[in-house]
């Protein structure tokens, strides 16, 4: 099963992807994270990307498509990706479709998180991310504490594009680009609209229910959840090292 998760900045794409990864045998691929990794390297390309991200506009399709291609063609990721923040243009959408087709895969479901603008602004303002374990927290809604976060405090950081001016641009860019992409997946009957204004757990319960009903998850999910260890112990005996 391959999943796309859409939503404006701060909608909870990363938060919900983290939840999905825990319950389903999927791997999250966030183009934002991949691009921020390039920025960290401070290569010529990384510096260009940094200046684009800090304007709140989109990085060229060519750059993002090439990052995504590397992920899709890795056999470890076969039919188990959550695309978080990709595609964001029609050209990226067609690129993804062609790429998946080439590798005998498809998108199983597109989750569209719909969140009101005022809520987004508050979420983005309060966001802190751990640069070590990549968990996402929020000063107002989901603060880090000794029960949910184990890395040192120094790793908790705000993103450079999380300020009021850049967030306005990111939001406007999202609204300007997303409609034809949503129309594309609606026509393919793959789109599932989700009220993203609710609490994190409430949203996740809805998502979980949707994903559990997907046909190709039934088979993969069976294999994933099957108690292989117990079966091996039964065949070879409990202390077997086979």
Give the integer Cα–Cα distance in Å for 89 and 70.
19
From candidates 101, 199, 218, 225, binder to ligand AP5 by CB under 6 A = 199
> Contact, 22 vs 204, CB < 8 A?
no
**Residue at shortest CB range from ligand AP5:** 32
The DSSP secondary structure of 53-119, one letter per residue, reads HTTT-PPPHHHHHHHHHHHHT-GGGTT-EEEES---SHHHHHHHHHHHHHTT----EEEEEE--HHH
> Contact, 64 vs 35, CB < 8 A?
yes
CB nearer ligand AP5, residue 94 or residue 224:
94
- The interface partner of residue 123, options being ligand AP5, Mg ion, none and the CB cut-off 5 to 8 Å by kind, is ligand AP5
Whether cis (ω within 30° of 0) applies to the bond prior to 5 is: no
From candidates 200, 210, 214, 220, binder to ligand AP5 by CB under 6 A = 200
- The interface partner of residue 149, options being Mg ion, ligand AP5, none and the CB cut-off 5 to 8 Å by kind, is none
From candidates 3, 26, 29, 32, binder to ligand AP5 by CB under 6 A = 32
> Contact, 107 vs 4, CB < 8 A?
yes
From candidates 24, 29, 85, 130, binder to ligand AP5 by CB under 6 A = 85
4, β-bridge pairs:
83, 110
Burial of 11 (0-12, 13-18, 19+ CB in 10 A): buried
In the complex, minimum distance from the CB of residue 214 to ligand AP5, in angstroms, rounded to a whole number: 22
In the complex, minimum distance from the CB of residue 100 to ligand AP5, in angstroms, rounded to a whole number: 15
Tokens of 64: 């993002």
Binding to Mg ion, residues 6-65 (CB under 5 A): 14
CB nearer ligand AP5, residue 121 or residue 220:
121
Question: Which residues of the shown chain bind ligand AP5 in the complex (CB under 6 A)?
Answer: 7, 9-15, 30-32, 35, 52-53, 56, 58-59, 64, 85-86, 88, 92, 123, 126-127, 136-138, 141-142, 170, 199-200, 203
């Amino acid at each position: 099963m391959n999943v796309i998760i859409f939503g404006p900045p701060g909608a909870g794409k990363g938060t919900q992807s983290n939840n999905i990864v825990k319950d389903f045998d999927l791997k999250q691929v966030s183009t934002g994270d991949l691009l921020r990794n390039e920025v960290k390297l401070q290569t010529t390309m990384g510096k260009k990307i940094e200046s684009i991200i800090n304007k709140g506009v989109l990085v060229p399709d060519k750059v993002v498509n090439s990052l995504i291609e590397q992920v899709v063609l890795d056999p470890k990721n076969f039919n188990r990706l959550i695309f978080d923040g990709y595609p964001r243009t029609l050209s990226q959408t067609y690129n993804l479709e062609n790429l998946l087709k080439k590798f005998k895969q498809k998108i199983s479901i597109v989750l569209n998180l719909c969140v009101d603008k005022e809520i987004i602004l508050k979420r983005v303002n309060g966001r802190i991310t751990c640069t070590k374990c990549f968990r996402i927290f929020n000063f107002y809604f989901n603060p880090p504490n000794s029960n949910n976060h184990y890395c040192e405090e120094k790793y908790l950081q705000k993103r450079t594009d999380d300020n009021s001016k850049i967030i306005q641009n990111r939001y406007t860019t999202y609204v300007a680009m997303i409609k034809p992409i949503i129309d594309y997946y609606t026509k393919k009957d793959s789109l599932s609209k989700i009220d993203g204004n609710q609490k994190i757990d409430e949203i996740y319960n809805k998502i979980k229910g949707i994903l559990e009903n997907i046909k190709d998850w039934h088979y993969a999910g069976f294999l994933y959840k099957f108690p292989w260890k117990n079966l091996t112990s039964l065949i070879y005996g409990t202390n077997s090292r086979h």
